[in-house]
Structure 1
Amino acid sequence: MFPISDYKLPRATPEAQGIASAALLQFIEAMDTHVNQIHSLMLLRHGHVVAEAWWSPYAPAYPQLLFSLSKSFTATAVGLAIAEGYFAIDDPVISFFPEHTPAECSPMLAAMRVRDLLSMATGHADDPWVSMISRQDGNWIKGFLETPVVYAPGTHFVYNTSATYMLSAIVQQTTTIRLDEYLKPRLFEPLGIEHVDWHISPQGITLGGIGLSLTTEAVARFGQLYLQKGCWNGIQLLPEAWVGQASAMQIINGADPHSDWAQGYGYQFWRCRHGAYRGDGVFGQYCIVMPEQDAVLVITGGVDVFAMQQPLNLVWEYLLPAMQAERLIDDTLAQRQLTEKLANLQVPTIHGESSAAIAQHVSGRSYQVDSNSFMIERISFDFSATGCSVVVQTATATETIVCGYRTWSLGRSSLFAQHFFDDTPVMAYGAWTAPDRFTMVVRLYQTPFVYTMEYHFVDAELLMTIQINVSFDSLAPLVLTARQVT
């Protein structure tokens, strides 16, 4: 529909776009100091990239799992499909799925419209996501439609990933192609976004509410498109009226003046304080659009679910006041300091030694592991001068994770499949943190997740502790015991 774009986001000094480098340095330092596990950041002002940072070992080429920031892309597909006449925003949801609608359809369900899915006002008491995806028959649409609707649709806000899945299903039902395929020529290619990965349901439908992975700059381009009211490189990709509707408050979602989760909700976008709005994913994935400042800020990370307000607070405290209307005089010293800071950011690493006396005794040993949720049956170690190879055997596979000393080693692993990654890229780093204790950090570096695995060798026994950095469930470490078999 539109040509593939070779347009590149222009780069500029902060002063050229009205931001003092010294103030921007303060903001970066505050984020680095006060927010645990920021992975990347990109700031655009007046359409120019004025700061871009990746906390090593994260890098520009690595896509990041966006979680619920995916929802804003799904809403974009809905806006495009409506503009192309595939359906209308006030069409009843059940009209798209007569074969899945319960025989006894309640008046509340019958009253639910597309706009209610968009604004998270379906009338559900809770998000039916868990029960929906747990169905043995894999029919998520039917699971959604069978969930009781207890409030009048359009009147009650409940954050609802299932609703976004239904939007994806509606796009697919009406256009006859998956949502990600529908967006490819209409959004991704015009913005120059390649290698889009979006998880698919058992019904063959793009998840919609979660599951999209993109690079930091790709998300920044998306935010810039919305800032420019749907216009990109001289072409109106997205109707301006849709951008206005999607980013405006469509339903009240709280009353706390200090919370950026209580400023109203649009069509799969959160309203923010200070006239801004954002796409938002759990564990620190943000695409913040600031129309009053003509700016876009993208952040990815592994932020605790209960600490996601903190990065936004720092944006309002440090970054917002730094944006001036006019170009500033260049500050070469501050620019150099900022450049050096951005080039040397890194996530916290473990401190320890690259060797230990016990290493030669446990290297080559195999340990039988007691029953555990990771389904690990055996584990063995091969310590060398440059790193360690950990061989893990489960009931279905044997794999090796290689970690370096004071350096990250790249690999792949299916050990962490509980996060629905059958086989995911990982990087690992290890050190002897005590004479009898080896610690290995495994980063699923295209996701927010990081595992710290500690191996404590005591005679013929092994005590393993596995700790994840962020989770929907408990963050309590998992302790495993094992005994030497060879």
Structure 2
Amino acid sequence: MNLSSLFSPLADLKLRSCLIRKQGRLIFEYYKEPRFKDQIAKINSCTKSILSALICIGMEKGVVPPPDTAISKFFPELRIKAEYRSVRDTSGHENGSDQRGIPDSRKLDITLEHLLTMSAGFEWTEFGGRNSFPTMTRTSDWINYVLDQPLSDLPGVRMEYNSGVSQLLSAILVQATGLSVAEFAEKHLFGPLGIESYQWETDPQGFHTGGFGLWLRPDDMLKFGQLYLQQGLWKNKQLIPAELIAKSVKPAIPAEAPRRGFYGWHWWVDSLSAVDYYYARGFGGQFIHIIPSLETVVVQTHDNRKKKEQPDIFREYILPALMD
């Protein structure tokens, strides 16, 4: 395994950083500039996998209910609106269930697991088309915006990438724990991992952004990946139950086209040449890859802000070098 051959392509592709840890030992370290080593930067949608970990911790502590729990437990307005619609239906008025903002009793079937696997069924286009994600961030109440979106599918049928459902999970965690998401993270995840430098954006109601908005150092991203590689064990303490780690990174639903592989609980799952791996993925080239069979964690960060397709650096360069 000659990883020194990676330096040239990583520099050409303008990566901000790349760290590789195998069997607990740092075997490769690259920074575009030395200052990036200690500088926090946006990890974008890798935030979703951090949130998944916090939900798992909450489940283990008994404050977050089981994954089959209906989200109406936390958003009772869904039930109230559905009951109001039922009265309207029986009175002979047209219910208009295909219009945005009209209560839909099918939303009562949405569970925590549907949010985690992005299969809640909301009609949503993250970017382009209806441009749901940018529209959400321009509203005064992100939670209401997401809950008011019509359903295009029954819950659990199809994955549709949706940062809005991540924001619902953030709000649920706050309701369940009585702490802000960042406070809960500091107490049960960041603190034990020694993550001290970070920033985390919030929505207009003060909920930390569940689908993006977290800033971390590359080495702290590596710690998080190592925690998952070690099945939730860190310095002889089980931070996340191994069974919840396994469930959260298990292929749960096929990824929506054109994405490849499967989706778990806010984790992507894929394979190359019979080597299975799972990963956190953020816009602009932010990744945390975990390859259990190789006992390896790989972190990539990038400053790419262009929407055009970029090479899959992990599959084209890094993983083949690790498998060599």
With the length of structure 1 as denominator, give the TM-score of the two structures.
0.58
Aligned partners of 1:196 and 1:316: how far apart in 2?
27
Structure 1's unaligned 5+ residue stretches are 1-19, 323-486
Distance in 1 between residues matched to 2:184 and 2:229, nearest whole Å: 22
Matched residues, number: 293
The question of whether the paired residues in 2 share the 8 Å contact of 1:283 and 1:301 is answered with yes
Match of 2:288 in 1: 287
Alignment of 1:242-321 (within 5 A): 242-254=244-256, 261-273=259-271, 274-303=275-304, 304-315=306-317, 318-321=320-323
SS of 1:276 mapped into structure 2: strand
Does the 8 Å contact 1:100/1:141 carry over to 2?
no
Q: Which has the higher helix share?
A: 2
Selected match of 2:11 from 10, 22, 32: 32
- Tell me which stretches of 4 or more aligned residues in structure 1 moved more than 6 Å: none
* CA spacing shift, 1:193–1:317, aligned 2, 3 Å: closer
Matched, 1:75 2:48: no
Deviations 1:2-41 (A, max 9, x none): xxxxxxxxxxxxxxxxxx4xx20112222223x2x20011
Shift of 1:57: 5.6
Q: Deviation per CA, 1:196-246, whole angstroms, max 9, x where unpaired?
A: 210011111011100000100000000000000000111110010111011
8 Å contact 2:218–2:301 — kept in the other structure? yes
Q: How many angstroms apart in 2 are the aligned matches of 1:308 and 1:287?
A: 17
- In the TM superposition, 1:389-400 aligns within 5 A as none
Is the 1:72–1:279 contact (alpha carbons within 8 Å) kept by the matching residues of 2? yes
RMSD: 1.8
Contact 1:60 1:216 in 2 (8 A): yes
Alignment match, 1:198:
200
Q: Output the amino acid matched with 2:11.
A: D
The aligned counterpart of 2:135 is 131
Report the Cα distance in structure 2 between the residues aligned to 1:245 and 1:309, rounded to whole angstroms: 30
Change (3 A) 1:247 1:59: same
Q: 1:89 corresponds to which residue?
A: 67
- When residues 177 and 63 of structure 1 are mapped into structure 2, their CA distance, relative to the original with a 3 A threshold, is same
Write the mapping of 1:413-432 to structure 2, written as runs, cut at 5 A. none
Distance 1:139 1:98 in 2: 16
Q: Deviations over 1:57-86 (max 9, x none)?
A: 642110110000000000111111111112
For the residue of structure 1 that corresponds to 2:264, the secondary structure is coil
Unaligned runs of 5+ in 2: 86-102, 126-131
Are the equivalent residues in 2 in contact too, given 1:253–1:265 (CA < 8 A)? yes
CA shift, 1:314, in A, is 2.5
Corresponding residue for 1:222? 224
* Corresponding position of 1:59: 36
Counterpart amino acid of residue 198 in structure 2:
V
Q: Greater relative contact order (Cα 8 A, min sep 6): structure 1 or 2? A: 2
1:458-484 CA-partner distances (Å, limit 9, x unpaired): xxxxxxxxxxxxxxxxxxxxxxxxxxx
Normalising by structure 2, we get a TM-score of 0.86
Give me the whole-angstrom Cα distance separating, in 2, the residues matched to 1:129 and 1:70: 15
| Larger strand percent | 1
Structure with larger Rg? 1
Give the 3 Å change call, closer, same or farther, for CA 301–255 of structure 1 in structure 2: closer
Please give the residue correspondences for 1:357-376 in structure 2 after superposition, counting only pairs within 5 Å. Answer: none
Deviations 1:110-129 (A, max 9, x none): 11110010001110232443
Output the amino acid matched with 2:299: V
Distance 2:108 2:319 in 1: 46
Secondary structure of 2:262's counterpart equals coil
Distance in 2 separating the partners of 1:30 and 1:314: 10
Q: Distance in 1 between matches of 2:257 and 2:77?
A: 40
1:38 maps to amino acid: L
Alignment match of 2:105 (pick from 107, 110, 117): 107
Give the secondary structure class of the aligned counterpart of 2:299. strand
What is the CA–CA distance in structure 1 between the aligned matches of 2:58 and 2:317, rounded to whole Å?
A: 34
- CA 1:180–1:315 in structure 2 vs 1: closer, same or farther (change >3 Å)? farther
1:287-338 deviation line (CA, Å, top 9, x unaligned): 000101000000100234433442123345642323xxxxxxxxxxxxxxxx
Q: Deviations over 1:236-286 (max 9, x none)?
A: 100101110111101011577xxxx31100111111223001001011100
Question: What is the CA–CA distance in structure 1 between the aligned matches of 2:197 and 2:323, rounded to whole Å?
Answer: 36
Alpha carbons of structure 1 residues 152 and 112: separation in structure 2 relative to 1, 3 Å: same
Query: What SS does structure 1 have at the residue aligned with 2:27?
Result: strand
